[in-house]
């Protein structure tokens, strides 16, 4: 489940954002100041951090690089009632990914969250697939079909997989299974059935995400 941290000293706004986020089936955690947020990110991971700029103690601007240090994988969306181009540019230079000006609508908030989570997914997939070995492993269409089939069906023995792929040339399937095993995308269980490894699961999710968002078909 997507985890979002809301950091704002305004209790009412903080709880409103939390309620809105939870209605979208995200897991929301709140912090009333940046220092509390910094303590949280050292022990928990968050996909996105919504950060107020003006708070008692450590302010949002100074908190950005610290949050990036402790939680480098989190997207940071800064919110402030003092919206200026200079503040926005400075926040982005400090490491924030986006900027919202108070007051904002629920629709704008959710659109901003959705955009940043999508961008994070693209970045994560790019890092996952940005390897010559991984690229070679997924370059062939049949190998991608094998990964998608195992993702959808789960553990499958050789003949089950051949039938699902509707490939008459068993030698070809066996060859590509070997390539995927060597690339670390699949392995065999005690019954000699093929299953996706954690790398294979991630690759399957990334390929599905890219296909969906780019309108591609395999």
Q: What is the pTM of this model?
A: 0.66
According to DSSP, the residues that pair with 188 across neighbouring strands are 194
Domain ranges of the chain: 3-127, 132-214
**Helix or strand or coil: residue 75?**
strand
Q: What is d(CA 187, CA 169) in angstroms, rounded to the nearest whole number?
A: 21
Q: What is the CA radius of gyration of the chain?
A: 22
| pLDDT over 80 (residue 99) | yes
Chain CA centroid to CA 149, Å: 22
| pLDDT over 50 (residue 216) | no
Domain 3-127 sits in CATH at 3.40.50.2300
3-127 and 132-214 share one fold:
no
pLDDT at site 213: 61
Mean pLDDT of the residues in the chain = 87
Please state whether beta strands 3-7 and 27-31 pair in parallel, antiparallel, or not at all (unpaired).
parallel
Compute the Cα dihedral for 105, 66, 94, 119 and give only its sign. Answer: negative
Region 6-14: mean pLDDT is 95
Enumerate residues 6+ apart whose C-beta is below 8 A from 5.
Answer: 28, 29, 30, 31, 37, 40, 41, 46, 48, 49, 50, 74
The rounded percent of the chain whose pLDDT value lies above 70 is 87
CATH classification of 132-214, choosing from 1.10.10.60, 3.40.50.300, 1.10.240.10, 1.10.10.10? 1.10.10.10
Q: What is d(CA 68, CA 74) in angstroms, rounded to the nearest whole number?
A: 7
Torsion-angle region of 183 (φ positive above 0: left; ψ -120 to 50: alpha; else: beta):
alpha
118-151 pLDDT tens trace = 888 777 666 655 555 555 666 788 998 999 899 9
Q: What is d(CA 72, CA 130) in angstroms, rounded to the nearest whole number?
A: 19
Q: What is d(CA 116, CA 106) in angstroms, rounded to the nearest whole number?
A: 15
How far lies 60's CA from each of 33, 51, 65, 68, in Å? 9, 6, 10, 12
Region 49-74: mean pLDDT is 93
Structure tokens at 178: 């070997």
Residue whose tokens read 């070995």: 133
């Amino acid at each position: 489940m997507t985890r979002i941290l809301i950091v704002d000293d305004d209790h009412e706004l903080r709880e409103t954002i939390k309620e809105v986020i939870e209605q979208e089936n995200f897991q929301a955690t709140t912090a009333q100041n940046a220092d509390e947020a910094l303590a949280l990110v050292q022990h928990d991971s968050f996909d996105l951090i919504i950060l107020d700029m003006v708070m008692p103690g450590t302010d949002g601007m100074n908190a950005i690089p610290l949050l990036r240090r402790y939680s480098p994988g989190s997207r940071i969306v800064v919110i402030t009632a003092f919206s200026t181009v200079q503040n926005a540019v400075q926040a982005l230079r400090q490491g924030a990914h986006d900027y919202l000006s108070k007051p904002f609508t629920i629709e704008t908030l959710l659109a901003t969250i959705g955009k940043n989570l999508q961008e994070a997914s693209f970045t994560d997939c790019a890092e996952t697939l940005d390897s010559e070995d991984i690229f070679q492993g997924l370059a062939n269409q049949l190998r991608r079909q094998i990964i998608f089939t195992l993702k959808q069906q789960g553990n499958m023995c050789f003949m089950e997989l051949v039938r699902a792929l509707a490939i008459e040339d068993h030698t070809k399937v066996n060859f590509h299974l070997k390539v995927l095993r060597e690339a670390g995308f699949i392995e065999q269980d005690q019954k000699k059935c093929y299953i996706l490894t954690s790398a294979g699961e991630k690759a399957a999710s990334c390929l599905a995400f890219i296909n969906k968002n780019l309108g591609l078909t395999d």
